Structure 1
Amino acid sequence: MSGHTHDHIDWADRLVLLRAADTLDAPAHAAIAARLAAKLPATPTVIDLGCGAGGMSIHFAEALATQTGGTIILVDATPELLHEAERAVRAAADAAQANRADGSTHTSNGRVPDGSAEPSGGHRAAAEHTASTAADSTRAVEGIAQTVEGAAQTAADTASTAEGAAPTVADTAPASEGAAPTVADTASTIEGAAQTVADTAPAAEGAAQTVTDTASAIEGTAQAAADTAPTVEGAARAAGGITPTAEETAQTVEIRAVVADLADGSLPDLLPPADLVWASRVVHHLPDQQAAIGTLTAVARTGGVVALAEGGLSFSCLPWDLGLGRPGLEDRLKAAQAEWFVGMREGIDGAVPMPYGWPLALERAGLADVSSFSALADHPAPGPDGLADYVHHHLSRLATHGAEHLSDEDRATLASLLDPDSTHYLGNRRDLFLLGARTVHHGRRP
């Protein structure tokens, strides 16, 4: 399958730009992922349609790893992008789970994870067996302790009989027969209260030694449990009737990749029902946007959430006066991009207009509880590492796509900004920044 899609854009060729954008969008994406993950049930299935380089699903993976795990299915029509997304998201999930297991703060691709791990199948089975053994040993100790308590009580009663100088041994013997089994087995005939005490004491001492030995065995078992798997404590707590914490019951995050096209009406037959269907800035590239939202809705299970990242505030990155050309270049670049977008939509085969906003489009698809929220991306000057490269890629794309909508002066200004040999090369500037907002529209399938 070619890297070109309905919009005739070579998305595989734009992989570098997508990676840079994902890095700069990371704080906003993390906030969005956490907010949406809070709406989901335990071990949910999340489908990222048009996943690109996987930037958003990295944060879904980290969010799920901190809860009870789940499954993330990456879907894209461009195999090159899908391969990169699967690699990046799997690495993030593995890092989050490893951090959970060892309590460290290592990150995946420089990101701060928030996740946890569950042992592998073999370790999990061993942990469950160890927890069961510990529970059985605990019950054994409780039984032995009851025996010792009974023996001690018998000894005390017998000593009292001795002090009371019962009339005859024959009178004492029937009382001894009613004592705990440990005392009854110690002597078949009680010749005297003093002899009973003497015979009972070794039995109590032996029982106490048994408790000591059993305690040592349990200590070893607990150590083995700690060595076997991080979740054995949670298993033992569960065996004791204590509800495990979220950290103790967390499961792994499974990653799957599917090459498919969101414009394909049969997509719901290729994917399992999802608790969250996510599509970020992909629907507006499809011929019939309303029909695409209907497909998203059909992929969601009953009660599942459909969420689109579309619109928001366009990103700004340049100062008003650059020291060359007319001030206000960025505003004119945005106007040129808007003209390019109109032409892009008109150039899509079978394009269908959607003359209303995204929330209304979700309602028309049959979703309930439709709402929207935004997440800010804010990197003040001089910005983080990689910002200049991102701005360079961003402006290069605008120079290509919007060139026909710019004046000769603005095209010359752009060329100078993008030329590493120019005195005005943007890579040498310290006043670049990035400010914008991602808006998410979401609803629930009734």
Structure 2
Amino acid sequence: MSVHTHDDIDWADRLAQLRMADALDAEALAPVARRLLSGSAGRPTVVDVGCGAGGMSVHFARELDGGTIVLLDATPALLAEAQRAVGAVAGERVEVVGVHGDLADPRLADRLPAADLVWASGVVHHVGDQQAALRTLAGLLRPGAVLAISEGGLEMRCLPWDLGIGRPGLEQRLLAARAEWFAGMRAGIAGSVALPYGWPRALREAGLEDVESFGALIDHPMPGSDLLREYVVHRVGWLAESVGDRLDSDDRATVAALVDPDGPAFLGHRADLYLFGAKAIHSGRSR
């Protein structure tokens, strides 16, 4: 069953792509999990807001020796997958709790425990009032606890400039069209409010201190693995589908040829695909 969230995205339909992204991001994000948990003691509670397929909380589970991981997502299929993936790693060492819910819910804090670490990756920008969402997340923290969000960074690149089909520069046009789509998505969310400053200031406005930002580099050079090629096929097809008529007919025809497994231009047969970009992590501590 398709489930659309308030931003009108069918996240359940993207489960396979999210699983692949988790696998490809693992080497870069495992040290991030270790860094965020480095000051935790005893049996900490970690809340993963918008957990998706559970990739980051798998890393949290590997780092913890006791404690609780609370997984929150608005899409039941993703929540079930996250509970399966994190539970397989946590075993009996770490309690794993699933909560069906949305960051936009004004009563969210009543449904979640006080946390030593709150993590939200690519979630806040789907809420109309992003600053209010950060205040909600900060309100989940125990004194001295950490809120960390992953927002922004360097957009992932995966294609050569000239693919031998269509006009060169397809990926750049896809990403430009995606940026236009994103602006429209933000404008179309009920109660959308501008956030005319960067995430570090937004965390300070939410009442946090010791605010810092750092990056996690995603770097898979060519020739890519079978997993990377499969992911690129999904990503290119998804980008083209998501931007709709923001892409011209020639580029749409090129994408159709690139993702056709029976065609001569199929991306999955190429040895010159790669994945390069960076995730930006912004964190702050409660008073």
Query: TM above 0.5, one fold?
Result: yes
**Equivalent pair of 1:7/1:344 in contact (CA under 8 Å):** yes
Larger Rg: 1
Rounded Cα–Cα distance in structure 2 between residues aligned with 1:324 and 1:13:
28
Rounded Cα–Cα distance in structure 2 between residues aligned with 1:261 and 1:369:
27
Confirm whether residue 313 of structure 1 aligns to residue 154 of structure 2: yes
Q: Could you tell me which amino acid in structure 2 is paired with residue 293 of structure 1?
A: L
**Equivalent pair of 2:42/2:67 in contact (CA under 8 Å):** yes
Specify the SS of the correspondent of 1:366. Answer: coil
Rounded Cα–Cα distance in structure 2 between residues aligned with 1:305 and 1:385:
37
Rounded Cα–Cα distance in structure 1 between residues aligned with 2:134 and 2:269:
43
Once the 2 structures are TM-superposed, how far is the Cα of residue 384 of structure 1 from its aligned partner? 2.4
Specify the SS of the correspondent of 1:334. Answer: helix
Once the 2 structures are TM-superposed, how far is the Cα of residue 2 of structure 1 from its aligned partner? 6.8
Residue ranges of structure 2 left out of the alignment (5+ in a row)? none
Rounded Cα–Cα distance in structure 2 between residues aligned with 1:5 and 1:334:
23
Specify the SS of the correspondent of 2:95. Answer: strand
Specify the SS of the correspondent of 2:226. Answer: coil
Once the 2 structures are TM-superposed, how far is the Cα of residue 377 of structure 1 from its aligned partner? 0.9
Q: Within 5 Å, which residues of 2 pair with 1:73-112?
A: 73-94=70-91
Q: Could you tell me which amino acid in structure 2 is paired with residue 92 of structure 1?
A: V
Root mean square deviation, CA, Å: 1.3
Rounded Cα–Cα distance in structure 2 between residues aligned with 1:408 and 1:265:
42
Selected match of 1:282 from 120, 123, 144: 123
Once the 2 structures are TM-superposed, how far is the Cα of residue 385 of structure 1 from its aligned partner? 2.9
Q: Within 5 Å, which residues of 2 pair with 1:39-438?
A: 39-64=39-64, 68-94=65-91, 252-438=93-279
Rounded Cα–Cα distance in structure 2 between residues aligned with 1:46 and 1:384:
32
Rounded Cα–Cα distance in structure 1 between residues aligned with 2:209 and 2:251:
46
Structure with the higher helix share, 1 or 2: 1
**Equivalent pair of 1:312/1:374 in contact (CA under 8 Å):** yes
When normalised by structure 2's length, the TM-score is 0.97
**Equivalent pair of 1:6/1:287 in contact (CA under 8 Å):** no
Structure with the higher strand share, 1 or 2: 2
Rounded Cα–Cα distance in structure 1 between residues aligned with 2:2 and 2:173:
33
Rounded Cα–Cα distance in structure 2 between residues aligned with 1:8 and 1:39:
38
Confirm whether residue 5 of structure 1 aligns to residue 5 of structure 2: yes
Rounded Cα–Cα distance in structure 1 between residues aligned with 2:253 and 2:102:
39
Rounded Cα–Cα distance in structure 2 between residues aligned with 1:360 and 1:377:
25
Identity %: 60
Residues 90-136 of structure 1, C-alpha deviations (whole Å, 9 max, x = no match): 00122xx7xxxxxxxxxxxxxxxxxxxxxxxxxxxxxxxxxxxxxxx
Specify the SS of the correspondent of 2:233. Answer: helix
Residue ranges of structure 1 left out of the alignment (5+ in a row)? 98-251
Q: Could you tell me which amino acid in structure 2 is paired with residue 284 of structure 1?
A: H
Specify the SS of the correspondent of 2:10. Answer: coil
Rounded Cα–Cα distance in structure 1 between residues aligned with 2:253 and 2:221:
27
How many positions carry a matched residue from both structures? 287
Specify the SS of the correspondent of 1:25. Answer: helix
Where does residue 27 of structure 2 map in the other structure? 27
Once the 2 structures are TM-superposed, how far is the Cα of residue 70 of structure 1 from its aligned partner? 1.4
Q: Could you tell me which amino acid in structure 1 is paired with residue 119 of structure 2?
A: W
Specify the SS of the correspondent of 1:312. Answer: strand
